Amino acid sequence: MKMDWLSEKIKLLIKNKSVDEITLRVVRESQNLTRFAENHIIQNVTKKTNDIYITAFNGKSTGTARTQDTSEESLLRNLKRAEEIAINSPEDPEFIEPLEPIEINGVDRYFNNARDLTPEEKAEEINKIKKEAVAKGMEIAGQYLNGEYSVGFANSLGHIAFHQHTLVNFSITAMLDDSSGYAGEADENLDKINLGRVADIAFTKASLGKNPVELTTGEYPVILEAQAIADFIPFLKWMMDRRAADEGYVYFSGRLGKKIASENVNLYSDPYNFDNPSEPFVSENGLPLGKIVWIENGVLKNLQTSRYWAKKKNLKPIGFATNIILEGGKKSLEEMIKSCDDALLITRLWYIRFVNRMDLNLTGMTRDGLYKIKNGEIVSAFKNMRFNDSPIRLLNSVAEFGIPRRIQGYCLVPPVFVKGFKLSSTTLF
Amino acid sequence: MKDLCLEAMNTALNLGVDYADIRIINQRDQMIVILDMSPKQINDEETVGFGIRVLKNGAWGFASASCVNKENINSIVKEAFQVAIASSRTKEGKGVILASEPAYQDYFKTPIEIDPFTVNMNDKIHLLLEINKKILNVKHIAKAFSRLRVTRRDQFFASTEGSMVETDIYTVSAGYTAVSVKGGDSQDRSFQDYPLNKGWEHIQSLNLLGNAERIAEEAVMKIDADFPKEGKKDLVLDPAHLSLTIHESVGHATELDRVLGYEANFAGRSFVTTEKKGNFRYGSEKGNFIADNTLPGGLATTGYDDEGVKCQRWDIIKDGIFVDYSSTREVAPLIGEKRSRGSARADGYYNMPINRIPNLYLMPSGDDTTPEDLISGVEDGILIEGRGSFSIDQMRLNFQFGGDAFFEIKNGKKDKMLRDVIYQSITPEFWGNLDAISGKDYWEPRGFRNCGKGEPMQVAQMTNGAPYARFRKINVLRGKS
């Protein structure tokens, strides 16, 4: 799918529509996934999908039909289905018209090297890493994914938006009898991914994790690696909704413009950020996205605001952002560890869930590497722990930020040294 | 469709595959979501496509496409074949050897009384609007959120071993949530989504509208409720709540692919290692867990799984002792099993089947024990209804659960409402503290349509039924700071 295809298809739908307005949204994926475990490839999958959503607007009613068939016959049949739903549906008291045309600058992050990587090439690379793992007496599991993705939006008022990008995502878990280590890298450009570097980190972490002992529950000074921060911080952003805040059922109620984090905390989103680019519009309605500052010097500056809520409250709509950027510092993770006297190091967090949305209390587990840092060195490992803590409390107890790293092609976040992180129970490994 | 399946299998055999199968799927979903009185989603969706799995030199290749025609199918078979050859480069030993399974020619359809797609879309929307109206009429309610989904998945499966099976599966579900706001605080209470493989008659049986006001009133009551006193307490858990605890701490823990390390990079492994089979005490002798993909209405009751294995019923835990895993044709032979337990499921035509939790349930007691009987045996405890926050470690040991509603139990009586209760335990310790179970009249086939596993994540559905059950001395904490 390209912009031309989108333009041609919306014209076809406009010509055949019998309702007031229509929108067309297309999400296309062409993905090659290689999964490995127990030192061999367990899945090698090529996947091609086209999801086409046609929404009909009839008065103040809407209806949506979805298909994966791109033929003209299918598009027209699904247009009729969407129209039937809209015609027979009750009026929506929160109805919002489709957007008028707005220019959206593109984000160019399409790399042929990521698209063209073959299953054979990936198998070769995995084989090399497997040999290294076997020599170290380790077992490996992981994934090596590549593909091209595109999303297009067009409506009958003439608004049209299109974005495509590639992605390579490699991650690996190295395992010994009583320890494991995890590492991963993701980018649109294959040249930015270094499989050997990723594997080495996982191998080192597994070695450092040997002979773990039980840790007493309590509050500890902790360095959370960038991966752990990327696991944790999105939960904060998902709750940053203006309507929910105004209606009083999230933590952010009454806090806009107030200090909610340490003064050194700056959190924002920006699809045009060179180091962490993302989709520059909301795929559901084509609303453009720009740089939005969420927290500036610890003060809550903005909340996501739907088009409906913006109109009702006379505000500017702020779309659900497609990336997260937490400003960092100048030290590498290794330098942070060296300058630390006594703390824990957490590699990754797992199975995080909200416990209470009013204080943003979350729970989850440490995973694939929980270590003790003493006098600037990793000296031992602990069995994994459950945490019960809030990202707000964490962002109020920041002692130091490290250099940001891009995680999962979505977050650009640093490792963070926090003065206190609450660990509530232990597990058996 | 049968001709296309045969075409694909002939092409695969001509290429020299060791084994191949094809799934051609035509799925229709209707999804309605209403927030307050605003229809946020009124969708009618169709998904058509096919996936082909090829085994060559002991390694898998898989390819899929959405355009179902002869030319495309032949091209995708060849693509899957090439991918299998690439996979074989890291093969260990002999590679994949499939457990044997007879070839079937069969047709299975979910027994339904009322086809949910014959029910007018507008009637479905109005049902949800009525629910939300009732919820929003209750003082201090800020939000009402209701949802309904009906699905039909028609799948043709064929293999180079001669199977040709059509499965025509219907699933329906509905539920809603009320959010209260009062004095700068907020709580919510839900009519938990209750999915089954049935027709519209299941939605009619739920009394969705009749419970809306009570659910909303309890959402408000929760705000004024006391926090729990922390410490060891006895818990009585209702079926809707316990279904999730079973799902996380027994269902996922006994998936054989996890045990063997297939999900080590993301979804995780399991503490239920293979030497534990047949001798590990998982919990008290009261605990009998059955896997049953023939359960009427069960979400995994599909006649055959996604690699053509006939659905079965077997013991997972018997009298508290771990007995068997769920498995697929690939992993079953790795522990010496001759036959797969038929637990291979794929999310759509575009994913490769993986080992999933079957319909899995805790058996009710053999007597007529009531929930009140369980409560009467508790001096200091909590009754938990419905699901709330949930989290478990990647080996399925340390877990923490919340709930949807909590009632204090004092001296054998259900007492005042509580709020923000969470409990923590370790799987075998928790099930070891199971000391009483209600009878079959209080057993419910609760389940999930959105169980996540795999990398990238695949979604699957299964029923995890439960009666009421009582657990002694579980660590209770306060979930709000």
Domain co-membership, A216 together with A189? no
- Residue B90 pLDDT class (50, 70, 90 cuts): confident
Are A90 and A39 members of one domain? yes
Binning pLDDT at 50, 70 and 90, where does residue B431 land?
very high
Task: Examine the domain organization and report whether A222 and A102 are in the same domain.
Answer: no
**A87 and A221 share one domain:** no
- Tell me the average pLDDT across B79-107: 92
Q: Which percentage of chain A shows pLDDT scores above 70?
A: 100
**What confidence score (pLDDT) does residue A380 get?**
98
The answer to whether the peptide bond before residue A101 is cis (omega within 30 degrees of 0) is: no
Using a CB–CB cutoff of 8 Å, tell me whether A403 touches chain B. no
Angle CA B49–B53–B57, to nearest 5? 160
Q: Is there a domain that residue A22 lies in?
A: yes
* Domain co-membership, A172 together with A77: yes
Q: Is A351 within 8 Å of B61 when comparing Cβ atoms?
A: no
> Nearest-CA residue of chain B relative to A42?
B60
Residue A310 maps to a domain: no
Average pLDDT over every residue of B41-65: 95
Q: What is the CATH number of domain B2-224?
A: 3.30.2290.10
Q: Say what the pLDDT of residue B91 is.
A: 77
B41 touches chain A (CB under 8 A): yes
Residue-wise pLDDT for B443-479, tens only, equals: 999 999 999 999 989 999 999 999 999 999 999 999 9
Per residue in B330-340, pLDDT (tens digit) is 999 999 999 99
A149 shares a domain with A130: yes
Same domain, A122 and A221: no
Residue A303 lies in a domain: no
| Predicted local confidence at residue B480, as pLDDT | 87
- Same domain, yes or no: A119 and A175: yes
Instruction: Give the mean pLDDT of A191-208.
Output: 98
Phi, psi for A83 (deg, rounded to 5): -65, -40
Determine contact: B274 vs chain A, CB below 8 A. no
Q: Out of A138, A167, A202, pick the residue that ends a domain.
A: A202
Q: How many domains does chain A have?
A: 2
CA distance B475 to A39: 39
Annotated domain spans of chain B: 2-224, 231-478
Is it the case that residue B87 has pLDDT exceeding 90?
A: no
In which band, very low, low, confident or very high, does the pLDDT at B322 lie, cut at 50, 70 and 90?
very high
- Contact assignment for A39 to B90 by CB distance below 8 Å: yes
The verdict on A215 and A134 lying in the same domain is no
- Residues A136, A29, single domain; the answer is yes
Average pLDDT over every residue of B32-40 = 97
Q: Give how far A58 is from chain B: nearest CA, Å.
A: 13
Is residue A139 less than 8 Å (CB to CB) from chain B? yes
Same-domain check for residues A85 and A160: yes
Q: What is the 3-state secondary structure (H, E, C) of chain B?
A: CHHHHHHHHHHHHHHCCCEEEEEEEEEEEEEEEEECCEEEEEEEEEEEEEEEEEEECCEEEEEEECCCCHHHHHHHHHHHHHHHHHHHHHCCCCCCCCCCCCCCEEEEECCCCCCHHHCCHHHHHHHHHHHHHHHHCCCCEEEEEEEEEEEEEEEEEEECCCCEEEEEEEEEEEEEEEEEEECCEEEEEEECCCCECCCHHHHHHCCHHHHHHHHHHHHHHHHHCECCCCEEEEEEECHHHHHHHHHHHHHHHHEHHHHCCCCCCCCCCCCCCHHHCCCCECCCCCCCEEEECCCCCCCCCCCECCCCCECCEEEEEECCEECCCECCCCCHHHHCCCCCCCCEECCCCCCCCEECCCCEEECCCCCCCCHHHHHHCCCEEEEEECCCCEEECCCCCEEEECCCEEEEEECCEEEEEECCEEEEEEHHHHHHCEEEECCHHHCECCEEEEEEECCCCEEEEEECCECCEEEEEEEEEECCC
| Residues A217 and A92 placed together within one structural domain of the fold | no
Please, what is the average pLDDT of chain A? Answer: 96
Residue A38 lies inside a defined structural domain of this protein? yes
Domain boundaries, position A356:
211-227+329-426
Q: What is the mean pLDDT of residues B29-57?
A: 96
Dist. CA A278–CA A409, nearest whole Å: 8
Q: Is the pLDDT of residue B89 over 90?
A: no
Summarize pLDDT for A13-61 with one digit per residue, the tens: 999 999 999 999 999 999 999 999 999 999 999 988 999 999 999 999 9
Is the CB of B228 inside 8 Å of chain A's CB atoms?
Answer: no
Contacts of A28 in chain B (CB under 8 A): none
Q: Is residue A243 part of a domain?
A: no
Q: What angle do CA B429, B431, B437 make, to 5 degrees?
A: 145
Q: Provide the pLDDT confidence category of residue A1 given band limits of 50, 70 and 90.
A: low
Give the Cα separation of B22 and B76 in Å (integer): 10
Q: Is residue A35 part of a domain?
A: yes
Of A43, A70, A351, the CB nearest to B392: A351
Residues B437 and B469 sit within 8 Å (Cβ to Cβ): yes
Cβ contact A49–B66 (<8 Å): yes
Instruction: Decide if A142 touches B, using CB distance below 8 A.
Output: yes
Within-domain flag for A257: no
Tell me the pLDDT tens digit for each residue of B355-406.
999 999 999 999 999 999 999 999 999 999 999 999 999 999 999 999 999 9
pLDDT band, residue B67 (cuts 50/70/90): confident
**Per-residue pLDDT, B481:** 79
Measured between beta carbons, the chain A residues lying within 8 angstroms of B266 are: 143, 171
Q: Which of B267, B430, B253 has the alpha carbon at shortest distance from A351?
A: B267
Number of CB pairs < 8 Å for A and B? 257
pLDDT score for B415: 97
Is pLDDT above 80 for B163? Answer: yes
Is A291 a domain residue? no
